[in-house]
Structure 1
Amino acid sequence: MGEWRTMTLQIMVMLLIMVVRVSSEATVKSCETTVESQTFGKCRYFSLLESTLWWTYDTDKNSMDFAFRTKPASKGGWVGWGINPNTTGMVGTQAVIAFQHSNGSMVAMTYNVVKPPNEQEPSALSFPVSIINSTINDGTITIFASLVLPSKKTAVSHTWQVGGEVKGVVPQSHPLAPANLNSFGPLDLLSGVTAPAGPVGAMPPTTKTTPPSTPASSSNSAIHLSLPVLAFSSSLFLCFLLHLR
């Protein structure tokens, strides 16, 4: 009888720990719409490369103000985000890449990614980009920029990437880990719907700007509600079994 009670208590504790861990993870991986005193209309967190994208889309000007934040692959490395106006993936991406110069200053430049790795010099993009800035805090780099989209389409293909080395102003090759190879996908600037194209999926994000009726917030709410209910129900069932014994 004593062994049965001990086992029951252990199972109940394990269920409670599982609920706390999952809830904490979901809270950490959600994102706020304000970054470094700048507020944007939407934001999305990507588990691939542990990155966050903020943006505000102006329908009248067909423009996009954005911020992108993640850590380089190693100290002295680079981070980048961009839009591929013609296809998906890295080649053809119109990117803004940032890194810390050897003198400690931050550098953010545009790159039309059409050349092989280690050869891509800074270059003009196929659409206007302005107000480029970048910051670094505890090794994490944040890029700020504004761009005018190449067409009236609000659904774009975006790419984000990190690397571990910069020679001069030329970013060197990024790692070939699954997260690096799959860090691209569709992005709807109006709805905020996005998903990586590769097999490694990002966690469905939550933001303050997502209406409760949208699939993203509904699925998250279902997860948050179902896990505590499951744990509570299981606990009641185990207590019932214990009473029968």
Structure 2
Amino acid sequence: MARLLLVLVATTMLLLAAGATAQQHGCENATFQAGRSFERCHTLPVLEASLYWTYHAANGTAEIAFRAQSNATGWVAWGINPSASGGMAGSNVFVASLGGSGAVSVLTTILKTTSPTLDNTTLSFAVPVPPTAEYAAGAYTIYVTVALPGNSTQQNTVWQAGPLSGGAIMAHLMSGPNLQSVKRQDFLSG
């Protein structure tokens, strides 16, 4: 009987600890600028990032907020790779970084290779609302509305983080979590 009681107490404590950890690291309690809100969220598996979205079936768009931890001398990026292969090469991405004036800018680019030139370009899918971003409390948040490629709710997504040098975006690490930051995302069911 004492052993059963000990097991029950230990199990209860583990469940409570897991719940507290999930609340601290989960995405459900996030707040956003200007009262924005999103219907769904996922805490992404690497790079201390989360994805929030609302899918609009009527027009095939998704309102998205991507949030990732970074220091002010870093950058973060999130994007969709419309090709069947997924991965970084071929991805259409939004890159947020702090400029010299302290304002956050968003660069849109298509990563043609795994060692891309980051030129500001029009993406291969519609972005009906210009992207914006903010930096607060040690994290960047990128806000974007996209027409999901192929009108499909299933998309290959990528995200990344790296350093700045003199305001210029530098290459991210080529190991560990930086190579694991890909996910097949379902914007309809989550």
C-alpha contact (below 8 Å) 1:111/1:125 kept by paired residues: yes
The alpha-carbon distance between structure 1 residues 118 and 77, as it changes in their structure 2 partners (threshold 3 A), is farther
CA contact (8 A) 2:88 2:114 kept: no
1:39-97 per-position Cα deviation (integer Å, ceiling 9, x unaligned)? 1121111131111111111112111110000123x431110110000021111111111
Counterpart residue type for residue 81 of structure 1? W
| Partner in structure 2 of residue 143 of structure 1 | 142
Q: What is residue 118 of structure 2 aligned with on the other side?
A: 120
Which shifted more, 173-182 or 77-86? 173-182
Pairing 1:87-166 to 2, within 5 Å after superposition: 87-117=85-115, 119-129=117-127, 130-165=129-164
Deviation for aligned residue 1:144: 0.5
Letter in 2 for 1:31: C
Counterpart Cα distance in 1 of 2:170 and 2:125: 24
Identify if the C-alpha distance between structure 1 residues 12 and 60 changes in structure 2 by more than 3 Å, giving closer, same or farther: closer
- Asked if the contact 1:49/1:180 (under 8 Å) is kept, the reply is yes
Contact (CA 8 Å) 1:83, 1:156: kept in 2 or not?
A: yes
Within the candidate set 47, 54, 59, 2:57 is matched to 59
Does the Cα contact within 8 Å between 1:55 and 1:66 map onto a contact in 2? yes
Gaps of 5+ in 1: 1-9, 193-245
Partner of 2:77: 80
Letter in 2 for 1:161: Q
- Tell me by how many angstroms 1:26 deviates: 2.1
Q: Percent of aligned pairs with the same residue?
A: 28
Cα pair 1:78 1:166 within 8 Å, conserved: no
Runs of 4+ in 1 over 6 A off after TM superposition: 10-16
* TM-score normalised over the length of structure 1: 0.67
Aligned residues: 185
20, 28, 31: which one aligns with 1:32: 28
Map Cα deviations across residues 204-242 of structure 1 (whole Å, 9 max, x no partner): xxxxxxxxxxxxxxxxxxxxxxxxxxxxxxxxxxxxxxx
CA drift at 1:19: 4.2
| Structure richer in strand, relative to its length | 2
TM-score of the superposition, structure 2-length normalised? 0.84
Query: Per the alignment, in what secondary structure is the counterpart of residue 70 of structure 1?
Result: strand
- In structure 2, what is the Cα distance between the partners aligned to 1:17 and 1:114? 49
CA distance in 2, matches of 1:56, 1:100: 26
Looking at CA atoms only, which structure, 1 or 2, has the larger radius of gyration? Answer: 1
Q: CA RMSD in A?
A: 2.7
Which runs of 5 or more structure 2 residues have no equivalent in the other structure?
1-5
Counterparts in 2 of 1:65 and 1:12: CA distance versus 1, 3 Å: closer
Structure 2: how far apart are the matches of 1:157 and 1:144? Answer: 18
Bigger share in helix: 1
